[in-house]
Homo-oligomer: A and B are copies of this chain.
């Protein structure tokens, strides 16, 4: 089955203590769509400007990503630039130029409306609602978010939580949303806001799933060297949804393994700037890291 991914499609300029890389392909939807494409057919919904490099369109296509929902319009592509601190766990935004994103209204081609798996990657909750309004009979809808929307669009986000099957956010966002420091308490709190499944990402410390089958502690794949963690969370969510879409049978049965695959694809994402490493990964390398995670956690 296929996955619809809606989110930002951007150019990212990323600084770390070790290097600087201007105008890489980025955005939540780009990372999520490429990550999902290892496991299932992907339809991308987003917007880019006239300046969007043709090689990035070719890159999406090489991953078999359906671009009929990607609008290209006059103006500049959304541009984000940020800087990471030495420990790679904290970043600050240097600038955000919304460009064509400011006027973005996602319009789903008719053939996209019945996509069974829908990932509302990180964009404004109002746009996530707008996509959901066009979806007919999805099997599984997951939404991601970021701290910004918790601050400036909280009512929209709370309304969204009642419309999705799963909600994914990171640990500091979970604390910000719920006011609870303890993550088990935060998970319970978020369930009460609507979603049947809640996933809290903890960066290099792994992630937690909470759902009808209880809690799952998902390990992060340990890396010797983190080059650039931008997009790791989006890759995690994308690979997770791709794995679910590619697996037969009920979602509930596959969710734990889907998180492990998410974790592994996110680990590749961190090993290169932007999508440079992820786009070079082969499926057998993903499988190898999944087997390694089995060995690393067995007791």
Which residues from chain A sit less than 8 Å from chain B, CB to CB?
Answer: 86-87, 181-185, 202, 205-206, 208, 214-219, 222-226, 256-257, 259-260, 294-299
Complexed CA–CA distance, A296 and B297 (Å): 11
When distances are taken between beta carbons in the complex, the residues of chain B under 8 Å from A184 are 222-224
Inter-chain contact A217/B224, CB cutoff 8 Å: no
Give the contacting residue for A259; candidates B257, B259, B299; CB below 8 A. Answer: B299
Inter-chain contact A182/B223, CB cutoff 8 Å: yes
How near does chain B come to A231, taking the closest CB pair, in angstroms? 20
How near does chain B come to A139, taking the closest CB pair, in angstroms? 21
Inter-chain contact A256/B205, CB cutoff 8 Å: no
How near does chain B come to A251, taking the closest CB pair, in angstroms? 15
Inter-chain contact A298/B205, CB cutoff 8 Å: no
How near does chain B come to A296, taking the closest CB pair, in angstroms? 5
Inter-chain contact B226/A222, CB cutoff 8 Å: no
Inter-chain contact A295/B224, CB cutoff 8 Å: no
Q: A87-B181, A181-B87, A205-B205 are contacts. A296–B214 as well, Cβ < 8 Å?
A: yes
- Can you list 16 A-B contacts (CB < 8 A)? A86-B181, A87-B181, A182-B223, A182-B226, A184-B222, A185-B225, A205-B205, A205-B206, A215-B222, A215-B296, A217-B219, A217-B297, A218-B299, A219-B219, A219-B297, A260-B299
When distances are taken between beta carbons in the complex, the residues of chain B under 8 Å from A217 are 219, 222, 296-297
How near does chain B come to A80, taking the closest CB pair, in angstroms? 25
How near does chain B come to A264, taking the closest CB pair, in angstroms? 12
Complexed CA–CA distance, A224 and B215 (Å): 12
When distances are taken between beta carbons in the complex, the residues of chain B under 8 Å from A208 are 222
When distances are taken between beta carbons in the complex, the residues of chain B under 8 Å from A297 are 216-217, 219, 297
Complexed CA–CA distance, A295 and B299 (Å): 12
Inter-chain contact B299/A257, CB cutoff 8 Å: yes
When distances are taken between beta carbons in the complex, the residues of chain B under 8 Å from A87 are 181
How near does chain B come to A295, taking the closest CB pair, in angstroms? 7
Give the contacting residue for A256; candidates B215, B219, B298; CB below 8 A. Answer: B298
When distances are taken between beta carbons in the complex, the residues of chain B under 8 Å from A202 are 205
How near does chain B come to A187, taking the closest CB pair, in angstroms? 9
Residue from A206, A217, A295 whose CB has the most chain B CB atoms within 10 Å: A217
Give the contacting residue for A295; candidates B86, B181, B214; CB below 8 A. Answer: B214
